[in-house]
Amino acid sequence: MRRSIGALVVSIGAIGPPAVSQAPPDSGGFILYKLQHPVGTERYRARQVGDGVRIETGWKFNYLGSEVTLDASLTLDRDRRPVAYVINGGTSTMTTIDLALEIRDGRARVRLDSADRSVDAGGSAFPISHYPPLAIEQELYRYWRKAGKPAAIPLLPAGLARFVRVGADTVAIGRRSVALDRYAVHGLVWGAQSAWFSDDRLIAVANGDAELDRFEAIREGFESMLPVVVRRSVEDEIAAQATVARRVQPIHKGRFAIVGARVIDGRGGTPLDNGTIVVEGGTISSVGPRARVTVPAGVSVINGEGKTVLPGLWDVHAHYEQAAWPIVSLAAGVTTARDAANEFELITALRQAIASGRILGPRLLAAGVIDGGEYPLGVVTAATPEEARRAVARYADAGFEQIKIYQSLPPALVPVVVEEAHRRGLTVTGHVPTGMSALQFIDAGADQINHLNFVTAVLRTPPAAGQPAAPIDLHSEAARQAIERFKARGICWIRVSREVKSSPTRATAATLDTSRVWTSYRSSCDRRSTARASRPRRRSEPVATSTAHWRSLLDSIERESPLC
């Protein structure tokens, strides 16, 4: 289902930066990547339109079997000041935009889908949409340079763009060396985008895209620099977050106690009023009623009266596609997260940076993705048993806790992946591959299943030919057998909310909506290797802080990432 980001029509007056000389039309193209896998292209051309120039661009890509197309144009006057912008199509497999923009007499006339409005264009604003085509971003960069590289460029219909130079790279392209300036670009996407320029040409970018996947784009002819783009973007993003971490110091660390608070144990037990928690060396050393827990001498005491303390939250299905995401999770109370598929270079660097204390974020558990087929997720793929074992070994050697199978992996390779993962002490989760059912997936040895839709598919009675799927009936033979097989394998348990029951003890399955069925998945810990199972388990440390402290932290993030 697509979310409409919206369409704009903006009319902008002729007021702008000092007039610049007209540049000759150009053309080019970019290779588009998702998690380093090439998925399509963007192609642009500039052509003469009267005294001005119109840049026409469009992309087309296929991500996991879904086609995405987008077309856009930016019209510049004879001095290369923007006078019109039109964009329509998909910015991702989940988001669309339909925008038209016209610039006239100092006003910006904006059409968003079918809604029109007029806004002040300002003297130097540039019309552009979030997650823009590369050719349009290139024109924004040229505009910024010709304006004298101001601290920020106002955008229409709203926002600011900033170009911050963070370094330089020299890449070998064929027999020549090309010097590139590397920037952190703010205001076009969530967080910061890494971008490389050669003079006034955009060469490459890396960022999270409109559906929050890791995205790279590289100018045709420069494809060999993909490893540089991946490595440098990760380094720069982590360096920026390290700056935030240095500014935001803990209120309490080392040895301290929280006394008098209401304590939530996180396991469904009765809350403990007037409780005491003692933290030493980063872990909870004791917790219980205030009258029974002794606070060691010399320990700093935090008055918790009137407050509630709960264990750090777990996010068991995250994808940290940008280095700015972990700190946001931490600010929301998440202290442990499972990253369930990512670029290898990004997630390993993030985990190391968090573990070392260089950046702020939850403790990370990593699931390494393995896929296959024509439209895979990422670049770690397998088509043979040997490739499957090598993929598992790469993740195991890097300390990953889990393997995530994706749905284009050939079903015949599922037991191969499972066997090798279990041999190395990793559990296996994932999407159920095409051609398998959830029951076949667990019969092949999978320990977990990601996403409820794979489970509900086997709870339904198969419909007659040409008939729609029937509602889930938990009393049907198909549902009962499936649930028993899940229980026998220790994979999951399914419970029905009593809120939808027609009596205190029995659910009315005929009217049960799938949104009222919860599925919880747990690891088959008994299959883990002795070495992995014997690793010390850390107890959750409470977050001892204040609203003002987290407000300060979030303000710091916002300064680094204006769109937070």
* Percentage of residues in the chain having pLDDT higher than 90: 70
d(CA 64, CA 17): 43
Q: Output the CA–CA distances (angstroms, integers) from residue 545 to 274, 285, 398, 479, 542, in the order listed.
A: 18, 19, 34, 47, 9
- Going by C-alpha positions, the residue among 512, 514, 483 that lies closest to residue 500 is 512
Largest CA distance in the chain: 85
**CB-based contacts of 525, cutoff 8 Å, min separation 6:** 533
Task: Name the band, by pLDDT with cuts 50, 70 and 90, for residue 282.
Answer: confident
Determine what percent of the chain is predicted with pLDDT higher than 70: 83
User: Domain-by-domain residue ranges, the chain?
Assistant: 3-221, 256-310
In degrees rounded to 5, what are phi and psi of residue 244? -60, -45
Strand-pairing partners, residue 76, are: 53, 82
d(CA 538, CA 356): 16
Length of the chain, please?
564
Cα 62 from Cα 186, distance rounded (Å) = 27
State pLDDT tens for residues 174-188.
999 999 999 999 999
- The token duo for 157 is 């219909």
Give the model confidence (pLDDT) of 341-355 as tens digits.
999 999 999 999 999
Closest to 404 in 3D by CA, of 424, 375, 433, 383:
433
CB atoms under 10 Å from CB of 398, counted, come to 13
Determine the 3-state secondary structure of 466 from DSSP: coil
pLDDT on residue 544: 37
- Give the residue from 307, 322, 356, 314 showing the smallest Cα distance to 338: 314
Q: Which CATH architecture group holds 256-310?
A: Roll (2.30)
Q: Which residues touch 460 (CB under 8 Å, ≥6 apart)?
A: 469, 470, 471, 472, 473, 476, 478, 479
Q: Up-side HSE of residue 504: CA atoms within 13 Å toward CB? A: 0
CA distance 447 to 525: 9
pLDDT band at 25 (very low <50, low <70, confident <90, very high): low
Give the pLDDT band of residue 359 (cuts 50, 70, 90): very high
Q: Which residues pair with 196 in a beta bridge?
A: 182, 204
CA distances from 185 to 130, 228, 377 (A): 12, 17, 26
| Per-residue pLDDT tens over the stretch 53-78 | 999 999 999 999 999 999 999 999 99
In the block, residue with structure tokens 């810990």 = 525
Average pLDDT estimate for 327-348: 96
